[in-house]
Amino acid sequence: MSLQNEPLTPAEGYAETAYRANAIPEQSYAPQNEMLRGRILETRLPWGSYLGVNPTTYQYSDLWFREYQYIGDDYHDYTMINESRWSKRVDENANDLYRIARFFFIIFSHLFSFTGGGGWVFTGIAIFVSVVGTVGQLFVDEPSFPFLIIGIPLTIGGICGVATLLRWLWEKYEIKFYKGNRNWSDNYAFCRRTGLINTEIGNFSFYEFDAYIEMTVGTQGSQFHSFKLIHRYPHRSRLPHTKDPLEFSFSVDGSIAQLYAIWDMLQRYMDVSQPLPDVPELEPFRHLDPTTKAYDEADKRGRPATYWRDLYANSSAEELKAMREAHRAEVDSTAWGGRPDLMELSVPNYRETRKGEPEDVNDFGRFPWKAGQFLDRPETAQPLDSAGHQQNNEKSR
């Protein structure tokens, strides 16, 4: 597939603070972030050098089309991400009593359900207790076989059956709750048009954050990796009444490569010299973003305006699953390593403060005991223009 090798000139519609990878201003030295001590931040992901590959979670969403069909004309405001903001918080139009009731409803329906919950486990325990109690009655002088024999398993099974029904109703009609009670907030979001990240303690420039892969260890020694975006200058963004740093998480499914892909997608989303990432959730709004509109009108996208909508409408669940798995394999096989870090040109001590990169990004995390060595990234020796470091797949994968 061909790549976009020339910069796009965005039309009016962006603030002067809008983020452009080829125009990151000089910044101050990166201080030692004491709040990160004790955390296992295994590698810091590079700025720039886009590969145009989106994470599978966003490229082939399980829920996107169902939500899009139901919400209809209001989809722009009720979706987590549109052409101007990628929200990280929901402002619900619901009172506290409703929130509490819903919390316990979801806990009950999901914990005791036979489908995806612990229904079979609880019922199995009830049967075991009943059998043990029944056998125990054989060793007493006057055995009796009360409610214990059948009553406990039937009661627990009935409770789990009700939970299963409630969970089915929730999963079928949750979009109605979604539209009726939830509004994605502009006050806690990544804002493309301004280049700022809006938070409850102020607004911060996107380029002041660094992306990390963090590893956490479970109680039984299992390892989990997650994507974290952490503010580089904690003395300017200390959260009130806590020592926690200002940071964001983005959830994706799959390998370490998927974490690289979400960072690639987030950067392209915020970079107004790039068209919006070509994912289903953003397709309905491409014409509302100046750069993306110009890109599509120049026929650089190479797809119909309703490509994703038509694909989901005309594909079976099995076909979508196959495409999803094929894309997952593509993300995992992409050469994510060995790229320079554009931020070295903006932050004087950036290279000295960063973590190294795994020798083999694609195998890293798959076999923790074979993690291999960490290597330094290639140096970014001179400023790069848009053609040098910004690549965006015309048919985003």
Residue 188's contacts (CB-CB under 8 Å, 6 or more residues apart) are 87, 88, 89, 198, 199, 200
Phi, psi of 164 (to 5 degrees): -65, -40
Phi, psi of 162 (to 5 degrees): -65, -45
Q: Which residues constitute the domain of residue 313?
A: 34-90+185-363
Task: For 293-320, give the DSSP string.
Answer: HHHHHTT-S-S-TTHHHHHHHH--HHHH
Contact 189, 85 (CB under 8 A): yes
pLDDT at residue 197, as a whole number: 97
| Structural domain total, the chain | 2
pLDDT at residue 52, as a whole number: 95
Same domain, 329 and 344: yes
For residue 4, is it within any domain? Answer: no
Instruction: Count the helix, strand and coil residues of the chain and give each as a percent rounded to the nearest 5.
Output: 45, 15, 45
| Gap between the Cα atoms of 301 and 298, Å rounded | 8
Contact 283, 312 (CB under 8 A): no
For residue 259, is it within any domain? Answer: yes
SS3 203: strand
State the Cα torsion 53-341-291-187 to the nearest 10°: 90
Q: Tell me the CA distances in angstroms from 212 to 37, 172, 367, one per residue in order.
A: 14, 36, 19
Entry pTM: 0.76
Same domain, 197 and 50: yes
Strand partners of residue 247: 230
Same domain, 170 and 189: no
Supply 69's token pair.
């069909």
Same domain, 153 and 249: no
Contact 258, 268 (CB under 8 A): no
Domain closes at, from 151, 179, 207: 179
Phi-psi region for residue 165, left (φ > 0), alpha (ψ -120 to 50) or beta? alpha
Place of tokens 């503010």: 231
For residue 16, is it within any domain? Answer: no
For residue 354, is it within any domain? Answer: yes
Contact 120, 178 (CB under 8 A): no
For residue 347, is it within any domain? Answer: yes
Give 10-residue mean pLDDT values along the chain (397 residues). 44 87 91 76 88 95 84 83 92 74 87 89 86 75 67 88 89 65 82 95 95 81 85 84 84 89 97 96 95 95 95 94 95 89 89 70 60 65 46 47
Domain closes at, from 179, 206, 236: 179
Supply 123's token pair.
């019922």
Residue 369: DSSP 8-state:
G
Strand 40-44 relative to strand 182-184: parallel, antiparallel, unpaired?
unpaired
Domain closes at, from 179, 194, 228: 179
Q: How many CB atoms sit inside 10 A of residue 66's CB?
A: 13
| Gap between the Cα atoms of 129 and 119, Å rounded | 15
Supply 132's token pair.
């043990």
Strand partners of residue 215: 40, 225
Same domain, 299 and 347: yes
| H/E run at residue 374 | strand 374-375
Same domain, 327 and 341: yes
